[in-house]
Amino acid sequence: MRYIAVLIAILAQPALAFDYELAAERECTYASNRYECVKSSERTLLRQVRGGRWQGVNPDGRAVDLTVMKEDEYVLILEDPVLYSGASIIHVMKKTGRFFWSKCSYSEILKEDDSTVRVGKLILKAQR
C-alpha cells in the first residue's frame, strides 16, 4: 500500500521542464526574386512540456504543439505546423546556444514562393 502511495505522489509531481527564448539577431527573406537580410529583435518562446513534448508560444500567449524531428545532447530540431504548402523548421544548437529557423512556402494562387531564415541566440528562461 505504501508503494502505491509513493507512486501516486511521484506521478502527481510536475515534470522538470524549462523554456527557451529564441532571440533573433538577423532575419533573411526571399520573396519576389529578391533576397534581403536585416537586423531583427524578434523573440519567441519554446516550452518543454510533460512527456518530452515541445510547444511554441505565440506573442498572444497561445501555445502551438511542435513536432520533435530529432533531439540529442547536441541538437533539438522541431517542426512548426504551417497552414500553407511548405515547412517551418527550428534547429536549436544546444552546445553553442544558437538557433536557425527556416520557413519556406509556396502559393499556388500567387504562383510565388518565399522563404525566411532567422538566426540568433538561445536563452534558457526558467526551470519549472
- Condensed to tens digits (0 to 9), the pLDDT of residues 70-107 reads 999 999 999 998 877 889 999 999 999 999 999 998 88
Domain ranges, residue 54: 17-127
The per-residue pLDDT for 72 is 93
The per-residue pLDDT for 4 is 44
pTM score > 0.85 for this model? no
Domain annotation covers residue 45? yes
| Domains held by the chain: number | 1
Domain annotation covers residue 1? no
User: Residues of the chain whose pLDDT is less than 70?
Assistant: 1-17, 126-128
The answer to whether residues 124 and 18 touch, using CB atoms and an 8 Å cutoff, is yes
Domain annotation covers residue 59? yes
Alpha-carbon separation of residue 114 from 53, 81, 122 (angstroms): 29, 17, 25
The per-residue pLDDT for 6 is 34
Domain annotation covers residue 51? yes
Domain annotation covers residue 90? yes
The per-residue pLDDT for 16 is 55
